[in-house]
């Protein structure tokens, strides 16, 4: 039985297999491969794209969905442990897709579950299905995953999509530019990961032409309000970087702007009509990639 808890469990070969299968789903997403299967989506934290694209993926594959998108309607509010919830849902469903606010919750669920568990985001830790759709989007727009310079901008401390993407890209000789204010800088463990894997990186607080004109992928992120214990600190950093269309004028022709979404001000709306804006299409790629992920764990 396979779980997908963290992107570091996927080799380059695993990643490429998932992306290649996702390409087939892009050509034809309606294939009845999950006939008779029940998939549970357990969302203990809010979500729009991740839950809806996973659920669309199951529907287009002919499976059925159970679950909750609002944990306040589940027995966790009565004090039920995650262990009991997971054991119960494993009685009903063939696969559990779970988002939880605690780091490590997905790993724990995978240890107590009798059916495969896919991590749809655990606290500030990991978001492997997002990374696979990010890699799909990078390969599709660049023609390759290899030798790309990726600027990661915004909340590098709490952004789980950042943490997963650094590990996911590590197989493909990336160069990173980390752009964050002091308070939101990348945790030391990920910098150490880069050094251990010979991944060149630079760090800066300045989001300017020097960054934008020297990368292939500009990966913008939202400041993760829900992770702050001090909301005054959030107010100080929340609008620190805003990408506007004018800032892209001298960027590389192949540059694409990615964002895991939702955006809350860090990409101005005047960027949307620029052909380099890819974040809406990126979210559609999530459907094909998640179809492929489901087949990977249930196949």
CA gap 53, 214 in Å, rounded: 32
Choice between 85 and 125, CB closer to ligand ASP? 125
| 119 phi and psi angles, rounded to 5 deg | -80, 115
Q: Is 3 designated active site?
A: no
- Which residues touch 253 (CB under 8 Å, ≥6 apart)? none
Which residues contact ligand ASP by CB under 6 A? 121, 127, 160-161, 222, 224, 260-261
Q: Is 49 designated active site?
A: yes
Q: Is 17 designated active site?
A: no
- Which residues touch 70 (CB under 8 Å, ≥6 apart)? 43
For 28, the token pair is: 């034809």
Smallest distance, ligand ASP to C-beta of residue 288, A: 18
| Spatial strand order in the sheet of 149-153 | 201-204, 175-179, 149-153, 217-220, 256-258
Choice between 252 and 263, CB closer to ligand ASP? 263
Smallest distance, ligand ASP to C-beta of residue 130, A: 6
Smallest distance, ligand ASP to C-beta of residue 121, A: 5
Smallest distance, ligand ASP to C-beta of residue 13, A: 26
Q: Which of 41, 50, 85, 161 is catalytic?
A: 50
Choice between 96 and 223, CB closer to ligand ASP? 223
CA gap 14, 209 in Å, rounded: 36
CA gap 115, 168 in Å, rounded: 25
Smallest distance, ligand ASP to C-beta of residue 275, A: 24
| 43 phi and psi angles, rounded to 5 deg | -110, 105
Q: Is 107 designated active site?
A: no
Cα separations in angstroms, 152 against 10, 163, 185, 239, 279: 22, 10, 11, 16, 14
Q: Is 197 designated active site?
A: no
Choice between 63 and 260, CB closer to ligand ASP? 260
Q: Which of 27, 78, 206, 229 is catalytic?
A: 78
Choice between 50 and 291, CB closer to ligand ASP? 50
At 267, is the secondary structure helix, strand, or coil?
strand
Q: Which of 49, 139, 157, 163 is catalytic?
A: 49
Query: Where in the sequence numbering do the catalytic residues fall?
Result: 49-50, 78, 99, 127
């Amino acid at each position: 039985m396979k779980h997908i808890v963290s992107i570091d469990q996927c080799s380059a070969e695993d990643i490429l297999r998932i992306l290649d299968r996702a390409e087939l789903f892009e050509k034809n997403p309606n294939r009845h491969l999950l006939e008779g299967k029940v998939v549970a989506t357990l969302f203990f934290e809010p979500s729009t794209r991740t839950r809806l694209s996973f659920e669309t993926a199951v529907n287009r594959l002919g499976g059925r969905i159970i679950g909750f998108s609002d944990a306040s309607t589940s027995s966790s509010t009565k004090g039920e442990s995650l262990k009991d919830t997971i054991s119960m849902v494993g009685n009903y469903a063939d696969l559990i897709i779970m988002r939880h606010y605690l780091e490590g919750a997905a790993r724990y669920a995978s240890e107590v579950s009798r059916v495969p568990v896919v991590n749809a985001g655990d606290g500030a830790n990991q978001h492997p299905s997002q990374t696979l759709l990010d890699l799909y989007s990078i390969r599709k727009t660049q023609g390759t995953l290899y030798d790309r310079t990726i600027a990661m901008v915004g909340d590098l401390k709490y952004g789980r999509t950042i943490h997963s993407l650094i590990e996911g890209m590590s197989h493909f000789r990336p160069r990173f530019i980390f752009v964050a204010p002091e308070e939101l800088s990348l945790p030391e463990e990920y910098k150490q990961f880069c050094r251990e894997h010979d991944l060149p990186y630079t760090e800066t607080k300045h989001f300017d032409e020097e960054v934008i004109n020297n990368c292939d992928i500009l990966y913008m992120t939202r400041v993760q309000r829900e992770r702050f214990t001090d909301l005054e600190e959030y107010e100080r950093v929340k609008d620190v970087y805003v990408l506007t269309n004018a800032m892209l004028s001298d960027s590389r022709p192949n540059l694409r702007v990615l964002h895991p979404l939702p955006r809350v001000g860090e990409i101005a709306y005047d960027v949307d009509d620029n052909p380099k804006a890819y974040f809406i299409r990126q979210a559609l790629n999530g459907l094909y990639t998640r179809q492929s992920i489901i087949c990977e764990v249930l196949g």
